[in-house]
Structures are given as C-alpha cells and as structure tokens.
Structure 1
Amino acid sequence: MKALFCYDGPLYKDENGDYFDSILNDQMFQRYFAVADELEVIIRTRPISREQAIKKMSQLTNPMISIIECPNLSSFSGMIINTDKVKKILKERILNADLVFIRLPSVIGNYSIGLCKSLKKKYLVEVVGCPWDSYWNYSIKGKLVAPFSAVMMRRQIRNAPYVLYVTNNFLQKRYPTKGKSIGCSNVELQPATTDVLISRLKKISEYKKNTKLIIGTAAGLDVLYKGQQYIIQALGQLKKQGIDCFEYQLIGGGKGTYLKKVAEMNNVADQIKIIGQMPHDEVFTWLDSIDIYAQPSRQEGLPRAMIEAMSRGIPCIGAKTAGIPELIDNKYIFTNSKTEVEEISNLLLDMRSECCIMERLAFENFHEALKYQRSTLVERRTRFFMSFAE
C-alpha cells in the first residue's frame, strides 16, 4: 500500500541531493509504515551545506521514502507563479496513492484536501498548530491573513473524515470536526527512568542563595512569536531591582539578531547566551544542565521541547498558548498580555526563593511527561491509522 504525506515543511537539501531535518526524520516518518509499504512526501525544500546539515540535523535514509519537491508557496509571488505547478504535482501523486496524510496548517495541505475531495481519495488530517495564533502574532500583514486562514482551517477540519490533533483539548475546541478524531501528541519520548528525577532533585537540593540559575528555551531564534524577548525583558526588569542571578540560554535555528538587540536594550547582554541549533541527540545533555525551562511562545501546538524538558524533571514556566496549559501547573502559566513580563519576573523569583517549589514541579513534570512515552503514543496512533486504512 502506498501512502502520501503532504505538508509545507520545509526539508533541507544538501549539495549531494540528500535530505535533512531535525523533526521530519526517519523516526517521525516511521509511523506511516504501520499502514503502508511505501511513502511519498510532497514538500518544499531549502538548500543547506552538507557540513551544516550533518552538524545540526538528521539525514533521511529510509529507502522506502521518496521526496517529491514542491515549488514554494509561502510568499505572495510564489503563490501566483507556482500554484498551477503545485496542483499538477499534487493531483498526479494523489491519484497514485492509496492513503493520503495531510498536515495542517499548510498551503500544500489545503490544496491537497481540495484535490482529495474532487478525486474521491481517502485522507487523514493531522492538526499540529493554529494558523490564527501563528499569523496574528507574526506581523501587521499577518493580522490581515489570520482571520481568513482560521476560517479556512475550521472548514477543512470540520468536514474531514479523519482528524488527528496533537493536543488533548485546545485545537479540538478551536477547530472541531464532524469526522472521527483522536488527540495524540507528535512528541514521542524514549522511556525515562527514575534516576533522571533523582538526579534533578539532588541538583535542586544543592542550590545556594548565590547559585546562578540557568533558564533555557529551545525554539527558532528569528521567529518573533516564539517569545524569547519576553524572558529577556523580564531579566532586564529584575536587573533594575538588583537581581542578576539568572542566565538565559537559547538553542534553535537562526541568528538571534533581534534577541541580541533586546538584550542590549535591557542591559542584560551578559546574561544571555545564544547557543544556536543543536543536534537533537545533544539536546537532553543541554536540558540536564539548565535549571528552569521557559516556553514563552504565542503560537504552538503541543510543544515538544517543553515535554522533553519535563521528562528531565525540569521546573517549567510557559505562556497561556495552545496546549501549553495542558502540560504544567496553571500557577506557572503567564498571560499573553501587557503584564506578562512582570508575571514572568514574579514566577522566576518564586522559584528562586523556594527550593521546595522547584522540587514539587520537578516531580509533577516528570510524571506528566510519562504520558508521552513513545510506546504509549505509537500504540494509540497506530490503532487510529489502521482504522483509517481499513
């Protein structure tokens, strides 16, 4: 049986024609082989040097995966020039597929749904994010696009026959469906042992009054809606009060030029460490080195990085965005409002002042993350995929 996966992506392609990504990798695509023998992936690509790709990403090596490169539709000019080309590619591959998996939000995904309907092809929609949050928090132009994108998404999902949501509640409420559905995160953690929690609790117990606490965030460095600037501003506010006992480390793709400017404006450049993109197999070592994880995003599905941090027993704070409040104690959620910088400052001070708070959060977060172990999620997702395939 042949399956087709449709999504904007992108994937990264080196000078040898090999494909790389940190999320869309062999392990992620393996889930579709529970119901298919072959998988075609229609997606746009971006060039990358092999040296940079090997250092920061995973290479796609499964011989049963074929990449069908799609012209770029992410810009206004791209949509004008490339729409007909994209529809032609999609139609040909959809006709040739037995099962079609469509990931939203994505422009390629929207076109794929229309073609599946007209060609009477069976399809399943994976809902991994909210276009309203994404566009509204991106730019002034984004605010013009957000209502249209959200309405289209609601229409597409409402009438889809099968829908997989990565959240348990948020995306389901905002984009309900009449079809069969399941809530199943994209995050698949390897089994965690209690040794991880014991090590974290020991680390917390050794904090002194003068210990510098390291805050960490894993997210794109040049994407404004990821919100790292609000943590930086909070550190600036604390520094004005004479409190400079925090360091903020950021990993993720991009240069972080804007974030560096924010740090300078808030007089905390010496407290900010931009690490950049990191191979995923090194992320857990980094997580074990930090003390607090922050997810200040204004657009998310269910953040993989936060769940991975929780699996290491890290106390977390996060924005009131999408699925983040489903993961952590509501007392450690800050609002997406004018007061959020002050709220972040207060949360950091609370953790700083009471080790018992951090110990409790470490325990709670570790056990919440156990729900996202690979074996549990693979079983649930596979049952849903098999129902779709039948």
Structure 2
Amino acid sequence: MKLVFAHDHVFYKYENQFFSTGGLSKEMLERYTKVFEEVVVISRQKEIDALDGKLTLASTDRVSFVQIPNFKSISNVHKLLQAKKIINYEVTNSDALISRLPSSIGAIAVDIARGNGTPYLVEVVACPWDALWNHSFKGKLLAPFTYFSTKTKIGQSKYATYVTNEFLQRRYPTKGKNISCSNVALKEFNNEILASRIQKIENKGSREKIVIGTTAAVNVRYKGQQYIIEALGELKKQGITNYEYHLVGGGSNTYLKSIAQKYDVVQQVKFLGSLSHDKVFEWLDTIDIYAQPSRQEGLPRALIEAMSRGLPSFGARTAGIPELLENKYIISNTKNNIKEILSILQGLSKEELLSQAMRNYGESMKYNRDIIEARRQKFFIHFKNVVQTSQ
C-alpha cells in the first residue's frame, strides 16, 4: 500500500540523501514504513553543499521525497498552482494520506483527498491560532481564517492523532476515531539520572549560581525567552544576581541581546547556539531549572526531555504545557507573568527542588517510546485495514 505523508517540513538534500533538523528523522519516518509498504513524503526541500553536524539523516528504505515549491511568501504566490498540481498528482496516485496539521501543504492535501475520495488521517501537532496570533500583526490577521480552516479539516476527518492529551482535542475536536499519541518518545530511563540530579540539588550551596535553561529558537519571539530575561532584571534590582539564563537554539539572537541590555543582565544571559541532540542532554544535566515560557506549542519535546533528566521546571499556560507540570509552576500569558516567574524562582527551596525533580522524572516516564509507538502502530494498522477493505 502506498501512503503519502504531507507537511511543510524542510528537508535538506545532500548527495541524493535527505536530512532533517530532527523533527522528521529516519527514525520518525520509519513509524510509517512499519505499516505501509511505500511512503512518499511531499514537503519543501533545500539543496546544500555540505553537511551540518546539526542535521539528522531522514532517508530510509521505501521512503521517497517529492519537492513542493515554496508558495507561502508573497514573491512566490505564482508557484501555488504548480504546488497544487504536484500535490494533486501524488495524493491521487496513492492509496492513503497522512497529513500533519497545521501546515499549508497538509491542508491542500486534505482538500484534494476529500475531493477525490482518498482515505486520510490527520496528525494534529500544534495550534495555528497560538502560532499566528503571537507571531506578528500580519499573523493576527491570518489567525482567524487559519484557525477555522484547520478546525474544519480536523472536524471532518474520520481519523486523527493528537500530540496532547486534552488541549488540542478541546480546541480542534473531531467526531472521527482519534487517539492521544505524543511525538515525544523517550528511549532511555535510568534511575542513576534521577540519583545524580538529587545529589546535585543536595550539594548546591545557598550562594551558588543558579542556572535556568531553555531550548528553543532564539529568533522567534513567541518562544518567550524575553520574559525570563526581564525577570532576571527585576531580581537584579532587588540585589539578587546569582541567576544565569542559558539559551540553546539557533537563529539570530539580536532581539534577545537587546532585551538583556535593556534590563542590564547581559553578563547573566548566555547564548549557546544550536547543539546536537546528544549534547542537549549533556547540557540539561548541567543546569538547575528548566523554563518553557513559549506562547505557541503542541506538547513540547524540550520540556519532556528536561523532565526526564529530573529537572525542576516551569512553563507558560500554553497548549499542552499545563498537562505536564503542576499548576503552581504554570505562568500566565499576561502582563503578570514576570511577577509569576519571580514568585516561582523565589519559592524553590531545596525541599521543593527535590520534590519537583522526582515528580517530573516520574511524569516523563509516561512518554516511554515503546508504549507510545505501540499505541500509534495499532491505530495506523486499523486505518490501513479500513483502507484495504474499502478498495
């Protein structure tokens, strides 16, 4: 059976092989080849002259990649018809479609599938309203249309998977068969990790430096790192300067540097750039508190990975974040969030840090790869069987 997988993801082509920034790696794509005999990935592509150590191999057996031209920018609108023609050909010549939403390519693919009767399943991975509304003025104009369009497509789908347990299901409900199935699937749980974290907390001196960390692109304002930086500025006004903020992530840090300058905490804010996945775990073990202050998410992989290292954490009241953390470690998406960050940081006694380390490690175990993948595979097999029966 031939499956088309549709999403806006950018794959990097180097010497006839495809690579990803990690979101759709070889391992991720093989979840589809375990069920379907042939998989065609329709997405954006970019050719590169040299391999970047931050890229992950995406090419694998029985997976082919079809390039969809970039039609999203104003200068490339003329490519929309060309894109639709390619998407129509691939969907029409397949047995089934899996569309990851929100995405422009995925949305077009769903419309074509509905028009020609191709069975399809949607993977709901984020909230387009949050993404656009918190992006820019232009985003605010687009948010209502994209929200209702996405909600309609998901609502009409007979099969859907959601990365959250509750949030996306409430905002984008479907009457079809659906499961909660996070894209975060942790491979390794080792009690020595928790033991090491507990020892780190117990050995921490009261006057030692406390390191807060966030993993996210540093050039996307809705990721919210500016709020942590502002909170450090407020602490400095109170004479408290033993906090540092370490940021892992690619992109230009010009804006966040300007915020650090504005609040006079340049020496307390460290930009570490992009790190490989393995290096991120090593870095997580060096920090003391993890923060996920973003205003747009699905179910954040970075937060769950931090929790799996026994890290006390806090985050914004966004999408699936409140499903992961205790309510007192959730900050609002209002002007009160700085005060709330300060309250959390100043309330983290050694006893509370130990309690949160154990609690978060235990919570992260719900994202065991074997359990999640077994549930996903069962759902995909059911979808495939229905497709085969209807042919």
TM tier, smaller: over 0.9
Match of 1:71 among 61, 69, 76: 69
CA distance in 2, matches of 1:252, 1:90: 32
**RMSD (Å), alpha carbons:** 1.3
Deviation at 1:50, TM superposition (A): 2.1
Q: Structure 1 residues 49, 310: closer, same or farther in 2, change over 3 A?
A: farther
Q: Structure 1 residues 245, 203: closer, same or farther in 2, change over 3 A?
A: same
Match of 1:382 in 2: 377
The residue matched to 1:7 in structure 2 has which SS?
strand
Q: Structure 1 residues 16, 261: closer, same or farther in 2, change over 3 A?
A: farther
Deviation at 1:73, TM superposition (A): 2.7
Match of 1:359 in 2: 354
TM value normalised by structure 2? 0.96
Deviation at 1:18, TM superposition (A): 4.0
Contact 2:212 2:290 (8 Å CA) reproduced: yes
1:241 aligns with 2:235: no
Match of 1:189 in 2: 186
Instruction: Give the alignment of 1:322-333 within 5 angstroms.
Output: 322-333=319-330
Residue identity in the other structure for 2:235: L
Percent identity over the alignment is 47
**Structure 2 gap ranges (5+):** 386-391
Match of 1:119 among 116, 120, 138: 116
Q: Which deviates more, 357-366 or 189-198? A: 189-198
Match of 1:110 in 2: 107
Listed one character per residue, the Cα deviations across residues 72-123 of structure 1 (whole Å, up to 9, x for unaligned) are 1332333x21111111111111122222110000011110011001111011
Deviation at 1:343, TM superposition (A): 0.9
Residue identity in the other structure for 2:21: D
The residue matched to 1:67 in structure 2 has which SS?
strand
The residue matched to 1:13 in structure 2 has which SS?
strand
Q: Structure 1 residues 10, 344: closer, same or farther in 2, change over 3 A?
A: same
CA distance in 2, matches of 1:307, 1:227: 18
Contact 1:255 1:276 (8 Å CA) reproduced: no
TM value normalised by structure 1? 0.96
1:175 aligns with 2:172: yes
Match of 1:96 in 2: 93
CA distance in 2, matches of 1:253, 1:11: 17
The residue matched to 2:285 in structure 1 has which SS?
helix
Q: Which deviates more, 363-372 or 245-254? A: 245-254
Deviation at 1:200, TM superposition (A): 0.5
1:31 aligns with 2:31: yes
CA distance in 2, matches of 1:120, 1:8: 23
Contact 1:15 1:50 (8 Å CA) reproduced: no
The residue matched to 1:44 in structure 2 has which SS?
strand
Deviation at 1:193, TM superposition (A): 1.4
Residue identity in the other structure for 1:296: P
Q: Structure 1 residues 235, 210: closer, same or farther in 2, change over 3 A?
A: same
CA distance in 1, matches of 2:96, 2:16: 30
Deviation at 1:60, TM superposition (A): 2.0
Residue identity in the other structure for 1:237: E
CA distance in 2, matches of 1:107, 1:370: 34
Residue identity in the other structure for 1:85: Q
Q: Structure 1 residues 347, 46: closer, same or farther in 2, change over 3 A?
A: farther
Deviation at 1:47, TM superposition (A): 4.7
Match of 1:304 among 301, 306, 314: 301
**Structure 1 gap ranges (5+):** none
Listed one character per residue, the Cα deviations across residues 301-359 of structure 1 (whole Å, up to 9, x for unaligned) are 000000000001000000000000000111000000001011112211112xx100010
Match of 1:144 in 2: 141
CA distance in 2, matches of 1:84, 1:361: 52
Number of matched pairs: 385
Contact 1:197 1:362 (8 Å CA) reproduced: yes
Match of 2:46 in 1: 46
